[in-house]
Structure 1
Amino acid sequence: MTLEKAPPGVDPLTPSVARMYDYFLGGKDHFAVDREAAEAINAISPDARDLARANRRFLGRAVRHLVDQGVRQFLDVGAGLPTRDNVHEVALRHAPDCRVVYVDNDPMVLVHARAILADNPHTIVAEGDLREPDWIVGHPGVRAHLDFSRPVAVLMVAVLHFVTDDEEARRHVAGFRDALAPGSHLVISHMSPGTAGGDDLAAGREIYARSTAGGLAFRTHDEVLSLFDGFTLVEPGLVEVADWRPDDPAARTPATPSSGAIGLAGVGRLDS
């Protein structure tokens, strides 16, 4: 079953990157326009759905790793629509004292997340845009829920590629970094061109240019690496999403789309 009627404030005529991602993950919170845009991406990159799901599994592994490292506070920026194994579910399953803040600017994300999390004292939802890190970390609700004098994990999973200017993307990440205490972490996954041809990359960018994101930047390994400035990458470094600490390395199946575009992922620690 998929959505037929838009909640108040939700535009059902413009593809939403959150709803497209929900479609790729097999969710039901999307409209015809989102499905059409997602299928256009599939036509360019037939393994886009597999890559989205590999990205989601990376998120779960990263959260488990951080909990194992003693992190108990999570700030998920650009959280997207709730699905299975959300950050709070993974974190609380392994440490019931974790606290999670979800941040997004998509009206549908906010409506659904608040409804699901209304009775969860460990988790809150705040409206915000990753382009305004000072607003997010200074938000009264965020400040009341998270203690920034202690380690916080900032999750920016599959969102920074929607900031198309390289310097702007680095500046936004630095804004969060400067608010964090030593021992905090940064989690990033990001689209990268891999071996994709220029025509495929241009076609993908054009589809996302007509979405709520307004564009998409495929960044190289070195360009994504620069987003971790000030952080020390934990092993295995910046790698393809399926290669970041896979649960079963022997059974690992490459998640590289046939177009050659890939997803890169890494986790960095702030030591000082």
Structure 2
Amino acid sequence: MTAKDEIDTSRPHPARVYDYWLNGKTHYEADVAAGDRVVQVWPGVLLGARLNREFMHRATRWLAREAGIRQFLDIGSGIPTEPNLHQVAQAVAPETRVVYVDNDPIVLRHGQKLLRGTPEGRTAYVHADFTEPETILEAPELRETLDLGRPVVLSLIALLHFITDERGAYDIVRKLMDALPSGSYLVVSHATADFDPDLLTRVAEAYQSSVAEGQIRSSSEVSRFFDGLELVDPGVVVAHRWRPDDGESQPDITDAEFPVYGGVARKP
């Protein structure tokens, strides 16, 4: 294991903080402390983490069932939390293939849990950084699992608000989508300050001071990630309002209580 792959438990990491909010078991004291600082500012973050996860589940089911997609590239996959994306997709279509990507060594250590799919399908894990898209696209694990001549879903759940404009967020998404064929899809969820700027400013300050840098974006700025793509109805909306399942009870909350946009779009 290289120095880059060593787990530093003295500093919080976004994947482990998120795991803590989801009531997982793979986090450390530093992650709990950082997560609690955000909870003190925004108690609703615990519900928000769950609703964000549910958006991923709904989008994945829709793409597998309605759009007929059988290949997914999930970047920023985080620590395995069941049901994982491949479990949702393969429940619809067992032959589905999924590649997970993350740069946290602890996700790498637990990556075997992401590889337990159906006999008909395939799953793989790539240890790489989103800001280095070439290393993702050229990874043997990806090339051996996905056919880039057929449609692929690029899933970026709660990832892009960690990537500033200065680090090339829009260019990176464009490079990844350029590598995928017509009929592919982009899925994004992203925090916003559109509904309560003061709250999100305080959340960003609490988070960025201890966990990671980032950039909260407006509706138009989140929509820009979908430039050149065909948005699926209802477009870019607060994530828990994106195609709720029939019979699914809707949380009795305002948009300001879950300030996260979600959207899905098709590459023409």
Fold similarity call, TM over 0.5: yes
Q: Counterpart of 2:21?
A: 24
Aligned position for 2:267: 270
- State yes or no: 1:10 paired with 2:7: yes
**What amino acid is the match of 1:224?**
V
Asked if 1:86 corresponds to 2:80, the answer is no
Cα drift, residue 96 of structure 1:
0.7
What is residue 54 of structure 2 aligned with on the other side?
57
Measured in 2, the distance between the counterparts of 1:96 and 1:249 equals 25
- In structure 2, the residue matched to 1:203 is 202
Residue number among 45, 50, 57 corresponding to 2:42 in the alignment: 45
Q: CA deviation at 1:43?
A: 1.1
Structure 1 unaligned spans of 5+ = 1-7
Equivalent in the alignment of 2:136: 136
Partners of 1:18 and 1:257 lie apart in 2 by 24
* Secondary structure of the corresponding residue to residue 75 of structure 1: strand
Contact 2:187 2:263 in 1 (8 A): yes
Out of 111, 114, 121, the residue aligned to residue 112 of structure 2 is 114
Asked if 1 retains the 8 angstrom alpha-carbon contact of 2:97 and 2:145, the reply is: yes
Which deviates the most, 110-119 or 177-186?
A: 110-119
Please tell me the residue identity of whatever aligns with 1:269: R
Alpha-carbon deviation of 1:17? 0.6
Distance change (3 Å), C-alpha of 1:150 and 1:51: same
* Kept in 1: contact 2:114–2:124 (CA 8 A): no
Query: CA, structure 1 residues 255+170, in 2 after alignment: closer, same or farther (shift >3 Å)?
Result: farther
CA distance in structure 1 between the aligned counterparts of 2:74 and 2:106, rounded to whole angstroms: 16
The answer as to whether partners of 1:192 and 1:261 remain within 8 angstroms in 2 is: no
Query: Compared with structure 1, are the counterparts of its residues 265 and 115 closer, same or farther at alpha carbon in structure 2 (3 Å cutoff)?
Result: closer
> Aligned partners of 1:96, 1:250: CA distance in 2, in Å?
24
Q: What is the CA–CA distance in structure 1 between the aligned matches of 2:184 and 2:228, rounded to whole Å?
A: 11
| 2:10 partner SS | coil
Q: Say whether 1:35 aligns with 2:26.
A: no
1:67-86 CA distance string (max 9 Å, x none): 01110000000000000111
Aligned residues: 261
Residue 209 of structure 1 deviates from its aligned partner by 2.4
Range 104-113 or range 243-252, more displaced: 243-252
**C-alpha distance 249-93 of structure 1, shift in aligned 2 (>3 A):** closer
CA drift of 1:207 comes to 2.9
Decide which moves more: 161-170 or 219-228: 161-170
Unaligned runs of 5+ in 2: none
Q: What is the distance in 1 between the residues matched to 2:18 and 2:254? A: 17
> How many Å apart are 1:251 and its aligned residue?
2.9
Using structure 1 for the length normalisation, give the TM-score. 0.90
Q: Which residue of 2 aligns with 1:3?
A: none
Could you tell me whether the CA contact under 8 Å between 1:47 and 1:256 is conserved in 2?
Answer: no
Match of 1:242 in 2: 240
- Give 3-state SS (helix, strand or coil) of 1:251's partner: coil
Alignment of 1:221-240 (within 5 A): 221-240=219-238
Identify if the C-alpha distance between structure 1 residues 247 and 166 changes in structure 2 by more than 3 Å, giving closer, same or farther.
Answer: farther
Q: What code does the residue aligned with 1:66 have?
A: L
Which shifted more, 170-179 or 128-137?
128-137
